[in-house]
Amino acid sequence: MSAEMQVFLLPDLGEGLTEAELVNWLVAVGDEIRVDQPIAEVETAKSMVEVPSPYAGIVAVLHGEAGQTLDVGKPLISVAPVGAVVESGPAEEAAPAEVVSEAPAASAAAEAYRTEEKAGSGNVLIGYGTSGGGEARRTRPRKASGSAVAVASAPDFELSLSRTRVPGKLSAVISPLVRKMARDHGVSLDAVPGSGESGLILRRDVEALIGSVPRETAPAEVPALKALAVAEPAAGIQDSRTGLPVASRTPVRGVRKAVAANMTRSRSEIPEATVWVDVDATALLEMRAELKKRDPHGAPGLLAFIARFVTAGLKKFPELNTRIVTAEDAAGGEMQEIIAFDGINLGFAAQTDRGLVVPSVRNAHLLSARELDAEIRRLTAVARDGKATPTELASGTFTLNNYGVFGVDGSAAIINYPEVAMLGVGRIIDKPWVVDGQLAVRKVTELTLAFDHRVCDGETAAGFLRYVADAIENPGTVLADL
């Protein structure tokens, strides 16, 4: 029986995501890999993950370059059987990796994968295959990622993946990256002579014409990037609306893209209202200072105490720990339902190098202030490392946002959709405060609650906010009652 090259399709990385950005290859063409060995780092809209291979063998093709966005269900890597001779060639001597087309078997597998994903099959990254024994061996020196390759097969070796070009004018450009580059730079593909096989238009052909074609640049357009750059220089391009030169163009992708979509949906769907109150936090700071004297390394942080008060407040005002969903009524029409939860997953906003993320402490209502502190620190660390799981980033029922660390007092926060409320905590500063009829200097902070007016009225929101404020002003009494 002949052996076939095995094509690994990019899997659903969790939570129904449909695309991921290739950050870095962990293997190269010619490497021998084992089952479950990490082969690439990819960034989704939720986290950075390592993708393991379900196949063992020799790396034959890397289907993509660092910085490229790949669709779920499309080829990620091709693996040849051990013993096959795999040789790297110049990347532009053959059609680049992104123009590889699937043979019927691979195409059918990709289509089946997409069908299952739409049906919510649960096909996710975790759990393919069994671990292969032994260490990975490299059979050739490491080459640049994205190289085209030539595979010399043994007599019984068959390829299930071939490089083809469908006849017709449009098929002169197969790569979506090349199409996008031409569109973003105003280059007409009809006028581009293809230097690839059978007249295939390659990236270099479009790049040769960029700069010679005048175009008007809309601020929202983003050119294709070759690597993970924060911004791409845009020398010589003028903005059509302002007439000013464009200094750089930054693609909206990954976490930033997800945040933008989530915030836009929150603003468009949620009738948001906001209430706020100034709070005397002097007693809370004094209590924590005393605990720190007793246990310098184990005293919970202020955010953990506030988180404890929040979970207690949500038990008294559960309307703020809900979610609104659209359901079908008996007549087949649409109706809205308020879903209440038996428990609290407390999210907290964390600023990272990749953007704003909201990991959540699961079952926070069961944890003490000390336990909350430990979990908040752990989740902050994994979020900043880009290692938080989709479950950790997408399971919150209420969000606590400590924007005081940025030196501001308040904020008109946007609710973290699909939650219905968010509590913000401002900086703690010295302010004049009346205590027992006398003016004194106290440690004061501002609490701001943004809430969905569909789930409750102002009385409920104010009651919750006042409860948390009273707990901060009298922490010993409240903690004793918890």
Q: Which of 459, 477, 426, 435 is nearest to 309 (CA)?
A: 477
Classify 379 as helix, strand or coil: helix
The continuous run of DSSP H or E covering 184 comes out as helix 176-184
CB 419 within 8 Å of CB 399: yes
Find the Cα–Cα–Cα–Cα dihedral 308, 434, 275, 456, rounded to 10°: 60
Q: What is the DSSP string of 21-40?
A: EEEEESS-TTBEE-TT-EEE
**Catalytic residue of the set 63, 185, 297, 453:** 453
Say how far apart CA 285 and CA 278 lie, in whole Å: 16
Residue 170, Cβ neighbours under 10 Å: how many? 9
Burial of 278 (C-beta count, 10 Å sphere; 0-12/13-18/19+): middle
Based on the residue annotation, tell me whether 63 is a catalytic residue of this protein: no
SS3 365: helix
Calculate ∠ Cα 108-113-117, nearest 5°. 150
Write phi, then psi, for 311 (nearest 5 degrees).
Answer: -65, -35
Least Cα distance to 194 among 184, 205, 185, 186 occurs for: 205
Q: How far apart are CA 255 and CA 50, in angstroms?
A: 16
Structure tokens at 288: 């924590």
Residues with a catalytic annotation lie at: 453
